[in-house]
Amino acid sequence: MSKLRRVRQLSQEEVAFKCRLSRKTLSNLDRNEHFPNIITFGKYAKALNMLPSELLKEIEQQSNYLLLLEEITDDLE
């Protein structure tokens, strides 16, 4: 989710404020150390000016890309 935030040129502080979360909590979400509940996920999407379904689709696309990249890297070893 941090990549989407950075693409939109939003700081952790800005998104945390919009979501009413601490910057530390947002940092944990960005690093996938914690996973948001549905309410927080919706707030995060809103802070990025996205629908939750759009955010989920973006995350899924990034995950698929990373899995593909991992498979390619494994094949090269």
Model confidence pLDDT, tens digit, residues 30-47? 888 888 899 999 999 999
Stated as kind and residue range, the H or E segment containing 36 is none
Residue reference for tokens 């494994």: 74
Q: Check if the beta carbon of residue 21 is closer than 8 Å to that of residue 30.
A: no
When divided into structural domains, the chain yields a total of 1
pLDDT for 66 equals 66
In the three-class reduction of DSSP (H, G, I as helix; E, B as strand; rest coil), residue 38 is classed as helix
Please check the confidence at residue 71 and state whether its pLDDT lies above 80.
no
| Host domain of residue 9 | 2-76
C-alpha of 45 from chain center: 9
* pTM of the shown model: 0.74
Q: CA-to-CA distance for 2 and 23, rounded, in angstroms?
A: 12
Q: What is the CATH number of the domain that holds 19?
A: 1.10.260.40
Q: CA-to-CA distance for 5 and 36, rounded, in angstroms?
A: 15
Q: Check if the beta carbon of residue 21 is closer than 8 Å to that of residue 12.
A: no
